[in-house]
Structure 1
Amino acid sequence: MADGFAGSVPLYLLIAGVVVVLLLARRFRLVGQIVSFALMVGGIGLAVMLIGERGRFDPAFARVAKFLHLDQDQAVVGKETRIPMASDGHFWVAVKFGQVERRMLVDSGATVTALSTETASAAGIEAANSPFPMIIQTANGSIRAQTATVPELRIGNIVARDLPIVTSPAFGDMDVVGMNFLSRLKSWRVEGRTLILTPNHPQSAS
């Protein structure tokens, strides 16, 4: 019981500190103005952070994040597509399936490219109606997934056609670029905080 109480002491100190600041803010106009400004800056910072994080999953937030320059875009440099590391330490790429665009996580530990059911549906990708679904091992256990084929997938100057993928409601809103895509490239590597993808036959970026 004592250990549990001791672990909560910093929270009580934080609450006490906030109460003291609020009392001072009410008593002194200058302090109140400083506190109001600090809260406004903190609120704006939190909103920017949330937009940047949510932009990786939601296209609407991604457009806002791009407008605010919260995340560096991938760029085609010569015959390579370069993707800067995101603030979370991962590499996220802008992927196009026809007119549908999604930001997907590049995961060299994933054997096959995986799409959420929402992304597959939006891109018009129909899963094979097989009585024997693929069983995928994840950090959260085994997942049953259906297989499908993407007619065309674009990342920068790279085009992959007839790419096998898996899809499942269990993926939530997560879309992942796996090794079956990376292995089709001429090469891929990480230099510092940049992922570099080199296709066998570079295409014009669109």
Structure 2
Amino acid sequence: MTGDQTLQVIAAVMMLTLVGSSLLSRRLALGQVARMIAGWLLIFAAVLVGYSYRFELNAVVQRVAGDLLGERGQTVGGTLRVPMAPDGHFWVRARINGHEQRFLIDSGATTTALSARTADAADLTVDRGGFPVLINTANGTVEAQRTRIERLTMGPIVAKDMAAVVSPAFGDMNVLGMNFLSSLESWRVEGRTLILVPHQPRV
């Protein structure tokens, strides 16, 4: 049993003890007590399951939120149109080696940057033995390691063998920088919409 599991069991036992003592002190009928205990058990079970699968649930919440906010973009005439989010940025859902993740498209970033969790989930090979890359962020300068993205897809756009950097200091943030934007045929902002134009296949 892990430390987290032990704490969960202890917390559940303590809560059940408190609830049981409270119910007994009220001298309720046995059947009513049993129903109330069963209800509390269901609540505790739901909380424990939610905590145990918090990362998976967070991914589901992000996916649903992305759909509601239009983060998958809209394919129009071979282009991908990404609406501006309420925070004033352009967010998009993309797949790295088949793994879907949320990205901020930032023309002010030179290089595409990935969180350590995203790199692990996409099974990327990170050059941990080489010299680190120094990246300037809003929170100061951080060290990152180099990697390459074999395949990144979003709507009609496919980017292959793209350089990126990885660092735990990025938290859960993933950024598509200028090295991604410059791989496109063109990109532009019209009003509150970012329009990404991929290279058209030659006939």
> Same fold, TM exceeding 0.5?
yes
Give runs of aligned pairs for residues 2-151 of structure 1, distance below 5 A: 58-65=58-65, 70-72=68-70, 73-151=72-150
Letter of the 1:185 partner, please give it.
L
Give, in angstroms, the shift of residue 105 of structure 1.
0.3
Per the alignment, residue 175 of structure 2 pairs with 176
- Listed as ranges, the gaps of 5+ residues in structure 1 are 1-57
Letter of the 1:60 partner, please give it.
V
Alignment check: 8 A CA contact 2:149 2:162 kept: yes
The number of equivalent residue pairs is: 143
TM-score if structure 2 supplies the norm length?
Answer: 0.67
Give, in angstroms, the shift of residue 84 of structure 1.
0.5
Letter of the 2:62 partner, please give it.
A
2:170 and 2:63 mapped to 1: Cα distance? 23
2:109 and 2:135 mapped to 1: Cα distance? 10
Letter of the 1:70 partner, please give it.
L
Task: State, as a whole percentage, how many aligned pairs show the same letter.
Answer: 53
Give, in angstroms, the shift of residue 156 of structure 1.
1.3
Letter of the 1:189 partner, please give it.
R
Cα deviation, 1:2-59, whole Å, max 9, x if unaligned, reads xxxxxxxxxxxxxxxxxxxxxxxxxxxxxxxxxxxxxxxxxxxxxxxxxxxxxxxx43
Per the alignment, residue 194 of structure 2 pairs with 195
Off by >3 Å, runs of 4+ in structure 1: none
Alignment check: 8 A CA contact 2:130 2:145 kept: no
1:59 and 1:200 mapped to 2: Cα distance? 31
Give, in angstroms, the shift of residue 138 of structure 1.
1.4
1:118 and 1:107 mapped to 2: Cα distance? 20
Give runs of aligned pairs for residues 145-160 of structure 1, distance below 5 A: 145-160=144-159
Per the alignment, residue 15 of structure 2 pairs with none
- Listed as ranges, the gaps of 5+ residues in structure 2 are 1-57
Structure 2 SS opposite 1:185: coil
2:167 and 2:63 mapped to 1: Cα distance? 26
Q: CA RMSD in A?
A: 1.4
Give, in angstroms, the shift of residue 93 of structure 1.
0.9
